[in-house]
């Protein structure tokens, strides 16, 4: 009995039907939060004493970097579940996480580069934090490329999961890079254990943006995963019903 939910979770159809109701709420929450956070961060948060207005890029940069890293855990973790329990659904989650993570990593690097120009005087510098983020981007792109390199889905799934798992080595390096090496990148602004080095008037809009990015991430991950499920269950009756826009019966 206790394991029933686990087996159900492995059923693509059950997952598809269960998550339908969550999508509009997640979409509405992410649009609202991102809108409020952007307006607040761009227009109402006070100017930074040292960096002036360029620091406003933080409201995109930090949430994107957070989710780029958290998304890698999600991708590697679902890859591991797929390898261990041969769960089709978790492979779909893993593959859906790759392009989303790649875009978020790109945003973190791109906004960081634009922030670097007025602050450090350069768009790019080969230091530990930035280089390890670039490796993260390559890992995401590598998983996307691998997922398309094999004719057989099962082989591609396993290859992607292995690459994702090997790549997790990079994650603690990214976190610690600002402490281990001398770097231009400023140390973490928000700390869980000590008090943060940011004023509340600047911190609240950042918090709104981070929660907004989390909602957006959850929403896009679900939408991409559901699409991949439909693609994989293409031959089944229920997937064709969904694509024709017919209502589905209870999955049981």
Partner 1 sequence: MPVNEGQVMQFQFASIADFLSMNGHGVYVWIAYGISFAALAALALQPALRRRSMQRELARQQRIQQRRRERTQARPEPLAVSE
Q: Which is nearer to partner 1, 46 or 247 (CB)?
A: 46
Residue 129 · residue 183 · CB < 8 Å: yes
Name the region of 166 (left: φ>0; alpha: ψ -120 to 50; beta: rest): alpha
Residue 201 touches partner 1, criterion: CB under 8 A: yes
Both tokens of residue 229? 């499920």
Q: What angle do CA 37, 120, 208 make, to 5 degrees?
A: 10
Greatest CA span in the chain, whole angstroms? 62
Determine if 230 is a binding residue for partner 1 (CB under 8 A). yes
Residue with tokens 């082989």: 155
Considering Cα of 229, then 230, then 232, then 233, what sign does the dihedral take?
A: positive
Least distance to partner 1 from the beta carbon of 86, Å?
25
Compute the least distance from the CB of residue 20 to partner 1, in Å. Answer: 14
Q: Which stretch binds partner 1 (CB under 8 A): 71-79, 139-147, 170-178, 226-234?
A: 226-234
Considering beta carbons, is residue 47 or 197 the nearer one to partner 1? 47
Among 12, 15, 26, 61, binds partner 1 (CB under 8 A): 61
φ/ψ of 184, rounded to 5, equals: -75, -30
**Site residues, partner 1 (CB under 8 A):** 38, 42-47, 52-54, 56-57, 60-61, 64, 99-100, 103, 106-107, 110-111, 114-115, 117-118, 201, 216, 219-220, 223-224, 226-227, 230-231, 234, 240, 243-244
């Amino acid at each position: 009995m206790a394991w029933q939910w686990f087996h159900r979770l492995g059923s693509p159809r059950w997952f598809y039907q269960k998550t339908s109701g969550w999508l509009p709420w997640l979409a509405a929450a992410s649009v609202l939060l991102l809108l409020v956070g952007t307006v607040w961060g761009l227009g109402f948060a006070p100017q930074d004493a040292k960096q002036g207005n360029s620091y406003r890029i933080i409201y995109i940069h930090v949430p994107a970097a957070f989710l780029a890293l958290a998304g890698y855990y999600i991708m590697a973790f679902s890859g591991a579940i797929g390898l261990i329990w041969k769960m089709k659904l978790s492979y779909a989650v893993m593959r859906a996480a790759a392009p989303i993570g790649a875009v978020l990593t790109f945003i973190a690097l791109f906004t960081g580069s634009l922030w670097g120009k007025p602050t450090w005087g350069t768009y790019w510098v080969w230091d530990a934090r930035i280089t390890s983020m670039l490796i993260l981007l390559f890992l995401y792109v590598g998983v996307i490329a691998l997922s398309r390199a094999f004719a057989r889905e099962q082989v591609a799934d396993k290859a992607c999961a292995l690459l994702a798992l090997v790549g997790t080595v990079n994650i603690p390096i990214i976190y610690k890079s600002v402490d281990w090496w001398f770097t231009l990148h400023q140390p973490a602004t928000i700390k869980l254990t000590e008090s943060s080095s940011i004023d509340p008037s600047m911190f609240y809009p950042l918090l709104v943006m981070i929660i907004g990015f989390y909602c957006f991430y959850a929403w896009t991950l679900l939408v991409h995963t559901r699409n991949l499920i439909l693609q994989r269950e293409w031959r089944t009756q229920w997937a064709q019903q969904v694509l024709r826009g017919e209502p589905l019966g209870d999955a049981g």
